[in-house]
Amino acid sequence: MQRRDFARAAMLIPLAGAGLVRAQAAWPQRPVRFVLSQPAGSGPDILARYMGDQLARRWNQPVVIDNKPGGQNVIGAQAAARSAPDGYTFYYATTAAMVTNAYTFKSLPYDPVKDFVPVRLVGRSPFVIAAAANFPGKNLKEALALAKAEPGSVTIATEGPKTFSGMLADSVASMAGVRLNHVPYTKAPDALQDVIGGRVQLVCLPDAALTAYLKAGQVRALAVSTAQRQPGMPDVPSLSETFPGFDYAGWNGLFAPAGTPADVIARVNRDVEAVLLQPEVAQRLQVLGSQPEQHMSVPEFDAFMRAERERWAKLVKQLGIQPE
């Protein structure tokens, strides 16, 4: 009897292993959460909700967007970092939270490198320098000329001097030898309303946050931050046309809390890629101001992040920004 029981148990081991594989393959078995550091209606929020809807169809589970804005992305990043690494919480992050904050804060309550695992780059988002419809400068050259003629008189709405948009504005001002007067905002719609109302003259924000306002003619695009002109704005010059070699774009992507199962990370990476390869999705993301990154493995995203940290470390040093 003992020999028969042993043989029966031995036969069941492969079946148990197959059952474990089936259980792992069944992910997700409940809603998946995307934590965001930005408020509802912001550019990253619009992109995250669209991607969440697409992935929810593949997963047959809802993707819940959890907005935790404030503190220059610190609140949302910290919340995501402290989430259980069970494969059901991801951080839909931007450049600021995962790269530039490390160089502009003396200390952070989260570690962008140690607390997170790169999952998938979704897209690169060019930033746009735009002006109020009644701004006298018709192009970037004229806007910078006005700023040079009256130092500090030209105001620009950004997310703050130590955010991506703020550092981009300061980079342009530094290269042009002018000074722009920052007016920081925590919400893009508030900044745009002040620009439209004539209380601020210029604005530097992600393309996604400006798209609707540009189409409505409420603001005028003066330049995009990338090396080439963007397909959705072929008539808008790139900053590299004024400053050769200049090429800076923000990006958005998914990260997981450290310790998240590798098989789940690989699954999400593959599913995001499958979604981005759909022509209608790629076209929609471009309309929303994000150039989709259609091919990128987990190791490639990890290498991309290392390069980004090196690039921004150099820029922060060039601008003389001191962490606070």
Look at strands 155-158 and 202-206 and give their pairing.
parallel
- Enter the CATH code of domain 30-125+249-319: 3.40.190.150
- Enter the CATH code of domain 126-241: 3.40.190.10
Look at residues 104, 147, 157, 71 and name the one whose alpha carbon lies nearest to residue 320: 104
Where does the chain hold its CATH 3.40.190.10 domain(s)? 126-241
Which stretch of DSSP H or E encloses residue 158?
strand 155-158
Q: What is the pLDDT of residue 223?
A: 96
Spatial separation of the C-alpha atoms in residues 92 and 77, rounded to whole Å? 9
Please give the angle made by the CA atoms of 199, 182 and 72, to the nearest 5 degrees: 110
Q: What is the pLDDT of residue 109?
A: 96
HEC string of 257-278 equals ECCCCHHHHHHHHHHHHHHHCC
Task: Please give the structure tokens belonging to residue 64.
Answer: 């819940």
Buried/exposed 278-287: b ≥16 CB within 10 Å, e otherwise: eeebbeebbe
Residue 4 buriedness (CB in 10 A; 0-12 / 13-18 / 19+): exposed
HEC string of 50-86 equals HHHHHHHHHHCCCEEEEECCCCCCHHHHHHHHCCCCC
Task: Please give the structure tokens belonging to residue 122.
Answer: 């979704």
Are 190 and 38 in contact by the 8 Å Cβ rule? The answer is no
HSE-CB at 286 with a 13 A cutoff on CA atoms is: 16
Kindly report whether the global pTM for this prediction surpasses the value 0.85.
no
Where does the chain hold its CATH 3.40.190.150 domain(s)? 30-125+249-319
Using CA atoms, how far residue 251 sits from 21, 98, 179, 254, in Å, is 34, 10, 27, 10
Q: What is the pLDDT of residue 5?
A: 52
Look at residues 126, 159, 166, 158 and name the one whose alpha carbon lies nearest to residue 288: 126
Residue type, 241: E
Q: pLDDT truncated to tens, each residue of the chain (324 aa)?
A: 454 554 454 455 554 454 444 444 589 999 999 999 999 988 889 899 999 999 999 999 999 999 999 888 999 999 999 999 999 999 999 998 999 899 889 999 999 999 999 999 999 888 999 999 889 999 999 999 999 998 888 999 998 877 888 889 988 999 999 999 989 998 888 999 999 999 999 999 988 788 889 989 999 999 999 888 887 788 999 999 999 988 888 899 999 999 999 999 999 999 999 999 999 999 999 888 788 999 999 999 999 999 999 988 888 888 788 887
Q: What is the crossing angle of helices 262-276 and 279-287, to 10°?
A: 80
Residue with tokens 């419809």: 133
